Amino acid sequence: MLYRRRTLELPRGKLNTPVLFPVRNIGTRSKDNTPPYVDSIPDFPAAMVNTRAVRNRTPLWERIANGRTLREEMCVPERTIVFADSGGFAFASNEIDTSPQKTLQAQRTLDADIYGTVDLPLSRDNRTEENQRRINLSIEYALEASDHHSGDALLIASVHGYDPETVRNCIAHLDKYGDFDGYALGSMVPIRASYKKVTKLILAARTATDKHLHVYGLGGLTYQPLLLYLGVDSFDSSAFIRGAGHRNYLIPGFGGEDLKDIEQLERLPCPCPICGNRTLDDIREDRSALVQHNLWALATELRRFQYVAESGRNIEDYLDLRFQGNDLTQSAYETAKQQVRRLT
């Protein structure tokens, strides 16, 4: 097992890992933003924001540039730890409209604790030559950011690759020529249904470095136990927001359940502070409550894994049960288990 616990020293204090960074939609033109959670869910003292989206939303950016803080805009405590990624996911289909230096300056203006470097995500539809160009540019942008980075915020280099060798080579090159506090594995969302492939890529990244490892976009209920087993230190997710918009109710150990398919229950099966005293109909009609419940579900998944690990129980026995009944995830876990056992 590669699961590990560490502590990051950040401008706003210490952050214990492994940890989920809930994605905040601030800066996007979406009514589905995240309700407050930092004071109510102790597992999540942090947030992930999209630097490009904030910078390109002119009224919001002007308020921040004129002295209002990002955390005031998000209605969270100033102690909230912020990971500001570059917003590179937009470059999968759009032209690059930033540079490493411009992004660094924006991340400083946001007063983020962790910076993600500018990157160009890959696509399964792109030709091999185009994806290689994107990999090379992401490396170039990361090294340029390394040259210009200063201050106490952590600099995390974004890494891409659709085969383990490419991932390992990218990290080795960045480690040799740059100065990074860790790495973030991207381009996973488009291939998230290919569990075995994703598992192998994550393992390649984990074995290539002992530094902090983040995985972009795969922090939901299904992937979280796999990420923890493979030694991932942090991850982010917006599934709790998107799912709530479709009235999808997350249940640890089961996944998501469409509330329209539940008719006979008076109360839902979760005793969290959101669901404990409310009826099914209340939760179904209150999107904000559903978002908060979904975050509690993600916290519960994380707590269960940590409890099993810290109490000395066999993690693999737990995961055998956790993935039972889902052929795809069970197969991916078996693949991961074989590889991890060869390493430990």
Work out how many domains the chain is built from and give that number.
Answer: 1
- Tell me which residue of 304, 185, 284, 161 sits closest to 233, measured CA to CA: 185
Q: Which domain holds residue 2?
A: 1-344
How, if at all, do strands 13-17 and 6-10 pair? Answer: antiparallel
| Rounded average pLDDT over 86-99 | 77
Q: In whole angstroms, what is the distance from residue 84 CA to residue 64 CA?
A: 15
Give pLDDT, residue 252.
Answer: 82
Q: Is pLDDT larger for residue 204 or for residue 126?
A: 204
Q: In whole angstroms, what is the distance from residue 177 CA to residue 142 CA?
A: 10
- Tell me which residue of 213, 218, 175, 166 sits closest to 193, measured CA to CA: 218
Q: Indicate which CATH number applies to the domain containing 141.
A: 3.20.20.105
First to last CA, the chain: 7
Check pLDDT > 80 for residue 125: no
SS3 state of residue 342: helix
What token pair was written down for 219?
A: 């922090």
| Rounded average pLDDT over 154-168 | 96
- Read off the pLDDT band of 246 (50, 70, 90): confident
Q: pLDDT above 90 covers what percent of the chain?
A: 59
Check pLDDT > 90 for residue 238: no
Whether 178 and 146 have beta carbons less than 8 Å apart is answered as yes
pTM: 0.93
208, containing H or E segment: helix 195-208
Check pLDDT > 90 for residue 161: yes
- Read off the pLDDT band of 267 (50, 70, 90): confident
What token pair was written down for 201?
A: 């890529």
DSSP secondary structure code for residue 24 in this structure: P
Give pLDDT, residue 102.
Answer: 95
SS3 state of residue 84: strand
Q: C-alpha distances in angstroms, 254 versus 264, 266, 267, 269?
A: 19, 20, 17, 11
